[in-house]
Amino acid sequence: MKEDRQRAVLTLVATRPVHSQEELVALLQRQGFDVTQATVSRDIKELGLAKVPIRENGGDIFKYVVPSAAVNYVSRLHRAVAELVSSVEGSVNMIVLRTPPGSAMLVASAIDEAGWPEVLGTMGGDDTVLTVVRSPEEMPVIKQRFLDLKGSTAA
């Protein structure tokens, strides 16, 4: 019952723009699911559906979409840096992160996956990660971003 309904929700949002939970309620009722907005709100949370602004015709509106890998990338990076990085140093257009032995590759791949546009590339050795930033001017910004990531658990 609940499972069927949630499958229907996934199909609906995958096949047309659904702009609000009330709209989803109406679509579900047309399929025989007799539910209220409260239940849909819970379904959305359980399914992990995201509400995103999109351009449609002229204006900006919202729609619900299935969750993306990008979400996980961000939190993977967050965890990796917060748990593994012990120091962050910058020089010219590079940033050097220190990790416990053996973890550097893991951190480097998380950084790569995050796909920050200011970062040209990242290499992981054994206990050292080297991140190359596009320009020296941007280096401090990215360095600070690593420090934020590192600190946001402790803080």
Q: Which residues of the shown chain bind DNA in the complex (CB under 7 A)? A: 1-2, 5, 20-22, 34-39, 41-42, 44-45, 51, 53, 60-62
The entry of DNA, a copy of itself, none near residue 39 (CB within 5 to 8 angstroms by kind) is: DNA
Angle between helix 37-47 and 2-15 (nearest 10): 80
Q: Is 52 in the site for a copy of itself (CB under 8 A)?
A: yes
Contact criterion met (CB below 8 Å) for 133 and 93: yes
**Measured from the CB of residue 75, what is the shortest distance to DNA in angstroms?**
17
Which C-beta is closer to a copy of itself: that of 14 or that of 38? 14
Phi, psi of 106 (to 5 degrees): -60, -45
How far apart (Å, rounded) are the C-alpha atoms in residues 95 and 76?
A: 19
The entry of DNA, a copy of itself, none near residue 67 (CB within 5 to 8 angstroms by kind) is: a copy of itself
How far apart (Å, rounded) are the C-alpha atoms in residues 98 and 89?
A: 9
Q: Is 137 in the site for a copy of itself (CB under 8 A)?
A: no
Locate all alpha helices (DSSP H) within 58-138, ordered by sequence.
69-84, 104-114
**Measured from the CB of residue 1, what is the shortest distance to a copy of itself in angstroms?**
18
Which tokens in the block code for residue 18?
Answer: 């659904």
Interaction site with a copy of itself (CB under 8 A): 11, 14-17, 44-46, 48-54, 60, 65-71, 74-75, 78, 114, 116, 141, 145, 148-149, 152
